[in-house]
Amino acid sequence: MKILGIDPGLERVGFGLIECDAQQTYTAQDWGIIRTSKHEPEAARLSSIYTAMNELIQQTKPAMAAVEKLFFFRNAKTLMPVSQARGIIILALYNAGIPFVEYTPMQVKMNMTGYGKSDKKAIQAMVKQLLTMDETPEPDDAADALAIALSCAFEQGTINLLSVR
């Protein structure tokens, strides 16, 4: 089963596609970011994200997706644009008929390390280990998206993280 993880943002949307097979082997199929220019109007940036998400969905054909949920935002100035980007991402998934689940950052951290306040390095190390990657996935947004996809696999019962800890 292919699971697409999404870390929403207006400037950078992280994505990570994992595949889970019947032998409980988990591999990273693709990861990266969708970038928009801060010099463009917000509507143009949201349109770019929507177009890129549609292309990503068509290319990867995930069975399901997982999207990071906004839980607590320190910077009120960026809350609305990130919320709008998240809405565009959910719209693209919905229109493509892709079922999706949502996780807060704390839920992802708990699923990955068992500790809800883990730092980025701990999450990246666990993603690298679970997906048997040679290198730590970069950039951070893509690594977070892979962790979100793995959280979905865990929650859906396709992975047992306790066996690798």
Active site residues: 7, 68, 141
CA distances from 76 to 11, 37, 39, 81, 83 (A): 16, 20, 20, 10, 11
- Say if residue 137 is preceded by a cis peptide, omega within 30 of 0: no
Cα dihedral: 8, 105, 108, 157 (round 10): -70
Query: How crowded is residue 150: how many other Cβ atoms within 10 Å of its Cβ?
Result: 29
Measured between alpha carbons, how far is 77 from 87 in angstroms, rounded to an integer? 17
